[in-house]
Structure 1
Amino acid sequence: MIEIKKMFLEGAELDFLLEIVGRSVIMFILILVILRLSGKKGVRQLTLFEVAIILSLGSAAGDPMFQEELPIIYALVVLFSVILIYKLITWLSTKSTFINKILEGEAMVVVRHGMFDLKHEHDGDFSKMEFFSELRNQSVEHLGQVRMAVLEIDGSMSILFYPDAEIKYGLPLFPDDYQQITIHAAGAPIACMYCGQILENIPQEQSCPRCQRKKWALAIDTKRI
């Protein structure tokens, strides 16, 4: 039988509980100050390197909140040391393209000329469904509307659109239209459901000549709203 009182209250000291509240408030304020000193304004702007810095700050701030034997000055030294390291490495990355690439990675082309770019198809971070979601969030109905889409190092998506006069048939991105069809159902240009290759008819071998996949959807060429 689990003893709830023992789990939550045994050994607890009221005076130290009040001290924990004070320590938590102080550390929370210190974290806010340190983050302001880092110069970042939002989570969408954080790179992997900066996420590592945030985790380091959180670890340094967490222990003094509830460990009575750790004075807050220790955490303060760690916090300012971490932010100094961050500033130094950030400065070095502005001087060296190589260091910048290691710390922050590179932007990745997701869509090129109305089709998914296949260069990164085996990357661990290549998720077609995530790209579908990001493109839909920017009111992209099908890939034929997109000249180029780039996944930035901060996780945002930058998109260059075709003008209305140049929009072509493309792979639909919304669930109602992103449906697999059979050979006999094809009556218009078709799109490979994996890479977005457009064909007038399903080939005899039923596989996409670009990515060798065998699933097709009806392509659409609607204009952007």
Structure 2
Amino acid sequence: MVFIRTLIVYLVVIISLRIMGKRQLGELQPSDLVITILISNVATISLEDTELPLLHGIMPILELVLFEMIISWISLHSVKVRRWVSGSPKIIIHNGEIDQKVLHDLRFTLDDLMTTLRTNGIFSPEEVQFAIVETNGTVSILQKPEYQTATKKDVSAVQPCTDPPEIVIADGELREKTLHALGLDRQWIDEILKAESLNIRDIFLLTADSAKQYYLVALSH
């Protein structure tokens, strides 16, 4: 009896998800993710409480699927509802400049941003034309033309081999270990600060490589 009950709940959940037409977990919108989690929890209750009539466990799942289909249909025909339910894409980098306010609003840390860039083969925000946080949480990145593969810049000159840029200063705090790992010292930092007329606490982001090439973003007030 338990086996049959489990099989029925399993089939109902699978069919429900197929009806919703959703794909991978990372592609779900916030509302879709909530519905998926709720269906999972309701199905768990149906499996754990064998004294609960099976129909009482299945009906909430079907109701959630119906609710999701209604919301999806309304969102499909209404831009306002779609933006309210799913939100809208946010630009966090434009022409190599990080939008600190949007980054803060999205609770996106500098480490999160740099990790995302590195996973896309980019080691400096300066190389980015656009970086957009999509409504499902993924980040779409467009590199500047001169940094894209097989450009004239790539063919005409052989670039020196250096270590990838690392975060040296983030949110006004100096990362001494990273600085030393790159073979740089505090004197070099002081020279940069003097040239830029800034203090460490005035810097939102400073990345550098072993060739002393750096990228700096001042903290916006």
TM-score for the superposition, normalised by structure 2 = 0.71
2:202 maps to 1:202: no
2:153 maps to 1:163: no
Could you tell me how far 1:165 is from its partner in structure 2? 6.7
Whose Rg is larger? Answer: 1
Q: Deviations over 1:187-224 (max 9, x none)?
A: 99x6xxxxxxxx99331x4268xxx3376443458xxx
Structure 1 residue corresponding to 2:167, chosen from 175, 178, 181: 178
Distance in 1, Cα, partners of 2:39 & 2:92: 33
- For residue 149 of structure 1, give the secondary structure of its aligned residue in structure 2: strand
Q: 1:214 to 1:83 in 2, by over 3 A?
A: closer
Other-structure match for 1:59: 41
Q: Deviations over 1:57-83 (max 9, x none)?
A: 112211121212212222222211111
Are the aligned partners of 1:206 and 1:214 in contact in 2 as well (CA < 8 Å)?
no
* Aligned AA (1:206): N
Q: 1:73 to 1:147 in 2, by over 3 A?
A: same
Distance in 2, Cα, partners of 1:87 & 1:165: 43
* Aligned AA (1:151): V
Could you tell me how far 1:147 is from its partner in structure 2? 0.5
2:29 maps to 1:47: yes
Are the aligned partners of 2:132 and 2:141 in contact in 1 as well (CA < 8 Å)?
yes
Structure 2 residue corresponding to 1:83, chosen from 44, 50, 65: 65
Q: Mean Cα displacement is larger for which, 37-46 or 123-132?
A: 123-132
* Aligned AA (2:203): R
Could you tell me how far 1:95 is from its partner in structure 2? 1.9
Are the aligned partners of 1:23 and 1:66 in contact in 2 as well (CA < 8 Å)?
no
Could you list the runs of 5+ residues in structure 1 that have no partner in the other structure?
A: 1-18, 168-173, 191-198
Could you tell me how far 1:175 is from its partner in structure 2? 7.6
Q: Mean Cα displacement is larger for which, 126-135 or 45-54?
A: 126-135
5 Å-filtered alignment, 1:15-26, equals 19-26=1-8
Identity of aligned residues (%): 20
Higher-strand-fraction structure = 2
Other-structure match for 1:134: 116
* Aligned AA (1:103): V
* Aligned AA (2:10): F
Distance in 2, Cα, partners of 1:86 & 1:214: 41
Structure 2 residue corresponding to 1:213, chosen from 203, 207, 213: 203
Distance in 2, Cα, partners of 1:162 & 1:175: 18
Other-structure match for 1:125: 107
Are the aligned partners of 1:183 and 1:202 in contact in 2 as well (CA < 8 Å)?
no
Are the aligned partners of 1:142 and 1:220 in contact in 2 as well (CA < 8 Å)?
no
* Aligned AA (1:157): V
Query: How much is the aligned-residue C-alpha RMSD, in angstroms?
Result: 3.0
Q: Mean Cα displacement is larger for which, 26-35 or 117-126?
A: 117-126
Aligned residues: 184
Distance in 2, Cα, partners of 1:114 & 1:158: 14
Q: 1:102 to 1:187 in 2, by over 3 A?
A: same
Distance in 2, Cα, partners of 1:207 & 1:220: 15
* Aligned AA (2:102): H
